[in-house]
Amino acid sequence: MTAALIIIDLQNAILASMAGPDLQREIDAALDACVARVAKVQARARAAGDVVVQHDDVAGHRLQTGTNGHRLRREILPKDGEITVRKTACDAFYRRDLHDILTVRNVDHLVVAGCMTQFCIDTSVRRAVSLGYDVTLLSDGHTTADMGALTFDQIIAHHNALLSGFDAGPKRVTLRACADVTF
């Protein structure tokens, strides 16, 4: 089994201005803690290879390409020679060469972390399984902001429960805490 860490959308402004001041501080603190955990996993994964996925967006969006908000968090910046795939949709594979990159590297297992649980994480994890990858979703390595009546903690817990065991044929999603992942 060849595994790769896929870090999705851990960018400076990924959760910026998603809530009022008090809740925004809580969301930002949760994001900082998540990024710190993912950075530790990334350090362990570097020998096996990791891929950082960065979302590009249009003028006026918090992730507008080329702005400070668009830049990757400093804690997970790729080193020289490491791969960054840029995307424009929730699906990290949509109209991108991510699947080709992983195929050339003989990767058959993805460890997924990042941001926007209910959008980019959910969509990319499901797509990865349907493309033939086993996926380990880092249960404490993805986050989001509140949405409607649901808090970010509820969204994360819901998607962990929903995605755990999701399968397509013999390929499936398993959950594991960041501290428990080795490469």
In the predicted structure, residue 47 carries a pLDDT above the cut 80:
no
State the DSSP H helix or E strand holding residue 138, giving kind and residue range, or none if neither: strand 134-143
Which backbone phi and psi does 172 adopt, to 5 degrees? -150, 170
Q: Residue 153 has what pLDDT?
A: 97
Mean pLDDT of the chain: 94
In the predicted structure, residue 116 carries a pLDDT above the cut 80:
yes
Structural domain boundaries of the chain? 3-180
Q: Residue 76 has what pLDDT?
A: 94
Q: What is the DSSP string of 8-52?
A: E--BTTTTTTSS-HHHHHHHHHHHHHHHHHHHHHHHHHTTT-EEE
How far from each other are the two terminal CA atoms of the chain, in whole angstroms?
Answer: 10
Architecture of 3-180 per CATH? 3-Layer(aba) Sandwich (3.40)
Q: Residue 1 has what pLDDT?
A: 72
